[in-house]
Structure 1
């Protein structure tokens, strides 16, 4: 007993040692409370919420309850720091202010997490597509962030928030003038990040700024894009919010890249097929299903017309362009480079003075540039080469050689 009394008397002689011991005990106490909160209390709450077997319970746990759990050790520090012996009043004030600011920030983050949960729940409703509330949620979060910032700064400075707000009013005009570009860039950066509009590595296209390449750097004021010709385009961050751009990330993540290209068919070569030509189409294995279905369809249609004594001109017949379109579609369906789970069309567009556009709309099963171009070229190599087999010709504007050939033929005519 005497030894303990002597030790206490010795400690009284060293107030700084008492302060260090007190701070150590405070840190241990805060750590214990933090451990109990996260490893005991939160587990009990999570187990209770999991009984509902709903995804919303898990989201509510992570977004709100798990964040609020961080308040517990801060409360311990805020209250128990007054018990640390010989701690200067200024240090007590600083520690309590920091703990209070941390609690304010934590509570506001939990509230914003609750707003995220509200938006997630609402987005599942049928009317969410027509009347989304994401914009209102973002405005509410901005207001909360501003309020949290004012309260945190006021707490750290140990001043009234009203005093801080009044001071901000006087400085607002100067700050907006001096830091205009920085404020615009900061707001743009927050919007780009929070909405996941752009990431490093994304392929974006912004023709008005001659940008078409991969994002290599995202900074507060600028975004750097390495174009495919290896030049670097630097874009102010705020312009990505004020102006439109194309982000090809969705295409890359989908695993397929669109092919949308048309060939122009000479419209003077489009006609009905003769019986001999129709029989000749049976050489194409890809047209077996198409021809069998058309034979039944046309026979049923034309039978009633023939019985009524109508002129054969009223009957339906196969055309070379329709058969060619069916062939191209069948060819794409068996092509190994075409994605079968995505849209696949072969369609006619409006006729033009340059010919009838026959468009292929499909998706390659790769997003690699070289492989994509190879697949696309292979398809159109085949389409252009097989075209004459259907009695069709590709439209091409007359060249100088065509003109010379026409002139020579005219000269060879007698009497010219």
Structure 2
């Protein structure tokens, strides 16, 4: 059916009313109203039919294919947007026929349909971007990459070009004018300053692999301590351990300092570093009776026997007067306890012996002498790690009295009353 035939059918009511003696302007008006109602009904039902047909076709194809890309297309409403293309094209072609007597209205409606077409194309482009994002995030390579940032940047450019093109259609203003582009660039830089900074930061984060989705980060400045759940242009979303959420400006991950625990999670162990404070007045030289008593502790018996031979040999060579323990070389209960703690850690199957392990004596403080435990737990899970750490120090604290040592504690009310 050609355009002349359509125009003839569209004017049937108008010609009939004029032949019946109605005023021509009223006949044209009623003819336009009736044609609009008919076209609206036809387009409405066509839109429903095409939408159901295309959506069902996509669903059927997605169920038969192995790839998940078409599944994400359905979820992002891509078939629904595509279904609107044909009805919109029909309306665009029928407008000059229906409003043939009103060129001004025809031009206005044609511009409106073009604007709607541009917006529809942007939505189709957005659905494709979202599908691509969801598909790539389902792969191992891009799972922890900030894909949302790139989608947002592409959408900003899409809406920018779409708005400029709509302005061009409405005003006829040239888009290739250098002055226009310069002014537009200045406005864009002013309005989207934070977005541009966020985009640059997102690229740096991805290229330098600073943060990934799923990383545990600590950002004291913003009170964030938890896992990264989302990285977009404006913010990085962190779910804290108390299940609250903290949003951090994306650019802050580049400009400020924060702690990323990924290195610990990817390593072979999680560090344990904690001190026990020994009361200084409880430290003493060991007598022969003390050494014999300590030899009953199985972990340090070989060490005590070997050390006792070395000390005795040195003292005899140097004719040390052992009536006083201070003369010559001697063992102390604190030194023996340090070796006991080291032996205990080396015997503990939960401690990773391939990583650094040390029990060291730190400088004395007003709270006692710190004996620091430095080692790595094989299990890096937080709850298990805390249990491992607690078990180690529970044992060492309970073992200290066996070495005639005391833990330093600030005096309590009971201590003062006892005095």
For the pair 1:340 / 2:363, whether they are aligned, the reply is no
Counterpart position of 1:403: 416
Tell me the distance in 2 between the aligned counterparts of 1:170 and 1:340. Answer: 65
CA distance in 2, matches of 1:307, 1:263: 34
Q: 1:336 offset after TM fit, Å?
A: 1.6
Q: How does 1:14-413 map to 2 (within 5 A)?
A: 172-306=185-319, 313-406=326-419
Contact 2:311 2:330 in 1 (8 A): yes
In structure 2, C-alpha distance between the alignment counterparts of 1:334 and 1:245, rounded to whole Å: 36
Q: How far, CA to CA, are the matches of 2:359 and 2:322 in structure 1? A: 36
1:346–1:359 Cα contact (<8 Å) kept: yes
- Offset, 1:296: 3.0
Deviations 1:13-69 (A, max 9, x none): xxxxxxxxxxxxxxxxxxxxxxxxxxxxxxxxxxxxxxxxxxxxxxxxxxxxxxxxx
CA separation of 1:338/1:165 partners in 2, compared to 1, >3 Å: closer, same or farther? Answer: farther
User: Do the aligned partners of 1:306 and 1:312 also contact (CA within 8 Å) in 2?
Assistant: no
Q: 2-side partners of 1:302 and 1:257: how far apart?
A: 43
Shift of 1:302: 1.7
In structure 2, the residue matched to 1:130 is none
What is the distance in 1 between the residues matched to 2:397 and 2:231?
45
Assess, with a 3 A threshold, how the Cα gap between structure 1 residues 274 and 253 changes in structure 2: closer, same or farther. Answer: same
- Distance across 2 between alignment mates of 1:332 and 1:307: 35
Cα displacement (A) at 1:309: 11
Structure 2 CA distance, aligned partners of 1:289 and 1:322?
15
Task: Mark the CA change 1:243 to 1:168 in structure 2 (over 3 Å): closer, same or farther.
Answer: farther
Count of aligned pairs between the two proteins: 246
- What secondary structure sits across from 1:322 in the alignment? helix
| Structure 2 CA distance for aligned equivalents of residues 165 and 320 of structure 1 | 84
Structure 2 residue matching 1:404: 3-state secondary structure: helix
Q: In 2, distance between residues paired with 1:405 and 1:369?
A: 41
Tell me, in whole angstroms, the C-alpha distance in 2 between the residues paired with 1:245 and 1:204.
7
Q: CA RMSD in A?
A: 2.6
1:142-161 deviation per Cα after TM superposition (whole angstroms, max 9, x unaligned):
xxxxxxxxxxx9xxxxxxxx
Contact 1:216 1:224 in 2 (8 A): yes
Closer, same or farther in 2 for the Cα pair 1:244/1:307, shift >3 Å? closer
Shift, 1:298, TM fit: 1.5
**Residue 193 of structure 1: SS of its match in structure 2?**
helix
What TM-score, normalized to structure 2?
Answer: 0.55
Deviations 1:294-322 (A, max 9, x none): 12321332222108999874301000000
Seen in structure 2, the aligned counterparts of structure 1 residues 205 and 379 have a Cα distance that, compared at 3 Å, is same
**Does the CA contact (< 8 Å) of 2:239 and 2:246 recur in 1?**
yes
Is there any run of 5+ residues in structure 1 with no aligned partner, and where?
1-152, 154-162, 407-416
Shift of 1:210: 0.4
TM-score (structure 1 length as normaliser) = 0.56
Structure 1 consecutive aligned stretches of length 4 or more whose deviation exceeds 3 Å:
163-175, 307-314
Quick one: structure 1 residues 377 and 165, their matched pair in 2 at CA, closer, same or farther if it must change by over 3 Å? farther
Q: Deviations over 1:175-205 (max 9, x none)?
A: 3222110110000000001111111111000
Cα distance, 1:168 vs structure 2: 6.8
Counterpart CA distance in 1 for 2:323 and 2:409 is 40
Q: Aligned equivalents of 1:185 and 1:312: distance in 2?
A: 69
- Native 8 Å contact 1:347 1:358 kept in 2: yes
Greater CA radius of gyration, 1 or 2?
Answer: 2
